[in-house]
A and B are shown apart, each in its own frame.
Chain A
Amino acid sequence: MKLTVNGESVDVGDGINVTELLKVQEVKMPDMVSVELNGEILDRDKFDNTTLNDGDTLELLYFMGGGA
C-alpha cells in the first residue's frame, strides 16, 4: 500500500502499524518523533496498535532541542 510520509510517497507492506513504519523510515527510536496521522497528533502509546491504511498521510516531526 502507498502512504505519504513527510510529503513523499512510500510503498509499504499492507497493514503495518506506526511503530513498524518508523522502523522502515529508519527512525532510530520512536521517542525521537511526534507523529501526525492525517492531520491529528497520535498518542505515543498508540503507535503499536494503530494500523495504517492505504492513502494515509503521515508527518514524522522530529524533536529538535538545539538552539545554541
Chain B
Amino acid sequence: MALTEDQIERYSRHIILSEVGGEGQEKLLGGKVLLVGAGGLGSPAGLYLAAAGVGTIGVIDGDVVDLSNLQRQIAHTTEDLGKPKVESAANAMRDINPDVNVRTYHTRMMADNALDLIADYDFVIDGADNFPTKFLVADACHLAGKAYSHAGILRFDGQTMTVVPNESACYRCVFVKPPPTNSVPSCSQAGVLGVLAGVVGTIQATEAIKYILGTGGLLTNRLLTYTALNMTFREIKVKRQERCPLCGSDPTITELHDEVEAVCDLSAR
C-alpha cells in the first residue's frame, strides 16, 4: 500500500520520525484497533487513533449520548444528545480523518459476542465503565491471544496497563476477580474529573500505536497510576502470577462467561 501525496502530507510529522517513517505509517494504516466503550476513555483514544491514521477502528457501545457525558466524552457534541455513542464517535473520527474505516457495534460486549467482535482486530482498548466488561475484555483477549490496554478511572485517579497475552502480567494477575457489588463506587456515584479521562485514554492510544508499529517499550508488567489531584504518576511493577485463574499454570477460566454486574447500574445512569 503506497502512500498518496495527501497522506504523505497529512502524516508528515509521523513520517519524519525515524521510529515511524513511511513504513510505520503504512503499518498504522493497515492496523485494526477495537475500542470497547465510546465514553471517557474511548473518546480521546478513538480521536487520536483516527488522527494517527489507524486504518480500521471498531467501536462497541450500547449507550446513547446523555447530557452528563459531555463533561468528558469529547467525541460527542451537544447536537449528538440521544444518538448512539458509536454513531457520534464514528462521525467524529471520520471528520478528523476520512482515511479511517470505522466499524460500529451498537451493543454491549458480552460473553456470547466478545470473541467474534475482537477476532479481526490487532489490539483492544478497554474503555468500559464496569467490571464485568473489563474482566470480559481481559478473558476474551487472553483466549484470543490479542494484546490490550486496561484502564480505569475514578474521581481524580486513573490506572492503566498493557497486556500481551502469555508474555506479560494480565489484568487477572493483579485484580483476580471483580469486587463484590457496591464495594467500589462507579463514576456516576463518586464523580470523575473529566480531563482525567483524556490523559488516561490518550496513554491507551499511545500503547495501541506503539504496538502496531512494533517500536518502543510497552506498559507491560507495570501498572501506571495517575493522581490528577497531586499530579503524580507512579509505576508499580506487577508480574505474571503462577496462580492466575486466567493465564496461570492451571487456569480455571477456559471459556467466557458474564460476570455479575458489580458496579454500574446501567439503567440508573
Contact = CB atoms under 8 A, between A and B. Distances in A.
Interface of A: 6-7, 29, 31-32, 34, 36, 39-41, 43-44, 59, 61-68
A57 B35 CA distance: 35
Contact of B187 (A34, A40, A68): A68
B73 A36 contact: no
Contact of A7 (B41, B131, B234): B234
B22 interface: no
B255 to A, nearest CB: 23
A61 B223 contact: yes
Contact of A68 (B129, B131, B183, B225): B129
Given A29-B183, A32-B183, A65-B186, A41 B40 contact: no
A41 B173 contact: yes
B252 to A, nearest CB: 14
Interface size class of B (residues with CB under 8 A): 35 or more
11 contacts: A7-B234, A59-B236, A61-B225, A63-B131, A63-B152, A64-B153, A64-B158, A66-B40, A66-B192, A67-B129, A67-B134
Contacts of B184: 31-32, 62-65
B37 A36 contact: no
Contact of B264 (A7, A40, A63, A65): A65
B236 to A, nearest CB: 5
